[in-house]
Structure 1
Amino acid sequence: HDEAGTAYLEEKSKLADVVTLPSGLRYKVLEKGNGIFHPKESTPCLINYAGTLIDGTEFESSYSHGSPKIFSPNHVVKGWSEAMQLMVEGDKWELYTPSDLAYGEYGLTSEPKVPRHSAVVYIIEMIEIMGEKVIALTCNTKTLQDCNEKMKTYIVNAKTKFGRDKDTYSVNISKEIERLMKMTKGGDMTDESKAWFDTRIFLLQQMLLNSNAKEEL
């Protein structure tokens, strides 16, 4: 087995900016995108990527080909697939991938080779999700954690607009959710526009939950 790879992954896990998932995949966010959707397992995605061994030897790269490639999460190695389904457009991550989530006991025999049982490092840049999407929002309306600038502005304005009075606050938010939901039924809006409707409804629902739990105000 790949002792150097295991040691490398364990070292990475100790770093503050590296997230370790239950599967054993580790990743670091290099650039945070503004997208609000994840791809589904079978959704084609336009991505830039580079794969290296832990010593930095590159074994594949779209950057050196000069153009991004289209892959769906169900057509790539497990570690890559798991990461892609957690990413949004504009994200660029570095993945520290254990052998069992990469090329496993067989490695890659074609040149340039990946030895058997090797941990590998990928950089993946999610340029475009070209099909079915799932909403990917984790924005916390109370602390504003994980919210982008557009969401933060909306939340602050909505809290002001819907009043600090405890009794009318929840009612006003409920009415606004209803109003937005009716408008999304129109059907002939762009993906971007629909995404912003979905986002606002999501944020208002969070605010409503928090206000009912007496936390928001």
Structure 2
Amino acid sequence: MRILSIVLVAVSALFLSGCLKSTAGCTYKVNGTVASSSEEQAIVTYLTSNGLTATKHSSNMYYQILADGTGTASPSQCSAILINYSGKLTNGTVFDSQTSQVFTLGTLIEGWKVGIPLIKKGGQIRLFIPPSLGYGSQDIKDNSGNVVIPGNSILIFDITLTDFQ
């Protein structure tokens, strides 16, 4: 009977501790990757040939803030973000488009980690992401095995930050 009581207390303590919020803090971080000069030059060439102007980020990614958003706060790496987005390649091929998607910012590609905090709730941004801040040299395939994002692709995302917590 005593062993059963000890096991019951241990299981209860384990269960209840899983419901508590962690006090360890956010473990997601921007890794500080800086795209190579050749990747940056490829983005500059794309922008120039399409008559576009964009701001250079210290990571060598480029962006356009289409709408700042409202308020004073921006999402952190541990924020749950609610977004609408569309992603395309430099040849205009749209590889993904979603509305009302929820993600934890720190789990996403590096280009999103550095770009999305540049806007506030309701803000809109266009990101020109070099491969090293996106998916690198790996091909990204759909469920049928078809390549939807070739390795070493520049990614262009239009993102609206609907909300975050």
TM over 0.5, yes or no?
yes
Q: Structure 2: which 5+ runs fail to align?
A: 1-37
* Larger strand fraction of residues: 2
Q: What secondary structure does 2:140 align onto? A: coil
- Please name the residue that 2:87 is paired with: 51
**1:60 to 1:118, Cα distance in 2 relative to 1, 3 A:** same
- Please name the residue that 1:71 is paired with: 103
Compute the RMSD of aligned alpha carbons: 2.5
Q: Which range moves more in the overlay, 89-98 or 105-114?
A: 105-114
Distance 1:86 1:13 in 2: 23
- Please name the residue that 1:101 is paired with: 133
Q: Which amino acid aligns with 1:102?
A: G
- Give me the TM-score of the superposition, normalised by structure 1: 0.52
Q: What secondary structure does 1:113 align onto? A: strand
- Please name the residue that 1:143 is paired with: none
Q: Which structure 2 residues correspond to residues 1-217 of structure 1 after superposition, within 5 A?
A: 6-12=41-47, 17-62=53-98, 67-110=99-142, 111=146, 113-130=148-165
Distance 2:39 2:104 in 1: 30
Q: Which amino acid aligns with 1:113?
A: V
Distance 1:4 1:71 in 2: 27
**1:101 to 1:5, Cα distance in 2 relative to 1, 3 A:** same
* Larger helix fraction of residues: 1
Distance 1:50 1:60 in 2: 6
Larger relative CO (CA 8 A, sep 6+): 1 or 2? 2
**1:5 to 1:107, Cα distance in 2 relative to 1, 3 A:** farther
Given that 2:111 and 2:129 are in contact with CA atoms closer than 8 Å, whether structure 1 keeps it comes out as yes
Report the alpha carbon displacement of residue 127 of structure 1 after superposing the two structures with TM.
0.6
Q: Percent identity?
A: 24
Consecutive aligned runs of 4 or more in structure 1 exceeding 4 Å deviation:
3-6, 13-17
Q: Structure 1: which 5+ runs fail to align?
A: 131-217
Q: Which amino acid aligns with 2:42?
A: A
Q: What secondary structure does 2:91 align onto? A: coil
Given that 1:41 and 1:73 are in contact with CA atoms closer than 8 Å, whether structure 2 keeps it comes out as yes
- Give me the TM-score of the superposition, normalised by structure 2: 0.67
